[in-house]
Amino acid sequence: MTLKLALAAAAFFACAAGAAWAQDVTPPGFRLPPMPPITATTPAKELFGRVTRPSTGRERSIGFYSKGCLASASMLPLSGPTWQVMRPSRDRFYGRLTLVSFIQRFSKRVASNTSWPGVLVGDMSQPRGGPMIKGHASHQIGLDVDIWLRPMPAQPLTMAQRETLMSTNVVAENRIDTNRFWSADHMQVLKDAALDPQVERILVNPAIKRAVCRDARGDRGWLQKVRPQWGHDYHFHVRLGCPAGEASCKPQADVVPGDGCGKPLDWWFTPGRLFPTPPKIPPKPRPPMTLKDMPAECAAVIREP
């Protein structure tokens, strides 16, 4: 099977499993070809998706979470006492220093508060942020990270295992409930993330949000940060807010007040949302983002040798 066919097959089965490319579309040891020439029409994802090291200078998040780049990124070490980076061949283990610090302290808290030895870290950002060749629309400015819904094993994983091991789907086939893999530890892990003051929001599958609404006891204030979004069956997405006073970083709108349970959550389970009917005529794909569509400063970030 050719590499192109292998990637297509992986993407197809990931979608069929309801995992939204489900952690494994990059084959083990896969390396992208060199970065193409920078022109006015070159898709930005082809540029940012192939650069292999961070830029220099002052650390900054430039633009919005889904349209921006990252200057002077920090790298999360691939292994720590309470975390391990998964799919390292993707080269998506970069972020703001605040994100790296969050992962380190959050994973330590998880190891203290649950039976998990630590967390498995999915995608952060690329070395200079920006759009990715495959996968996320966001994760572009160094303030997003995916955390797997599978505990880190007590023993270190080999690099080969990190490329092939799958996460755990905790959503039932009916897409309304969680399945037998959902546990009190999952609940505590989400709570530990939400209680961190730098976390702005956490994206989970609506069925997971439903379980959180059902099972939370005591102070429920942290539930406000846990927001429903399709595609988060195997992992949850943590987003930090823009650093205070950094004008180059464009913040997201404030989270809607309230815990997000009840009627606001019920909307996600209406027939048209739960099992949407595909359009008879597929929409025409949007043209890819280019450098001219991004903040002007991103051109300097990507052009730096």
Distance in angstroms between the alpha carbons of the first and the last residue of the chain: 36
C-alpha–C-alpha distance, residues 134 and 21, integer Å:
9
Q: Is 238 helix (H, G, I), strand (E, B) or coil?
A: strand
Tell me the pLDDT tens digit for each residue of 86-123.
999 999 999 999 999 999 999 999 999 999 999 999 99
Consecutive H or E run containing 230: none
C-alpha–C-alpha distance, residues 13 and 19, integer Å:
9
Tell me the pLDDT tens digit for each residue of 275-304.
888 888 888 888 999 999 999 999 999 999
Tell me the pLDDT tens digit for each residue of 234-280.
999 999 999 999 999 999 998 888 999 999 999 999 988 888 888 88
Pick from 229, 232, 226: nearest CA to 268? 229
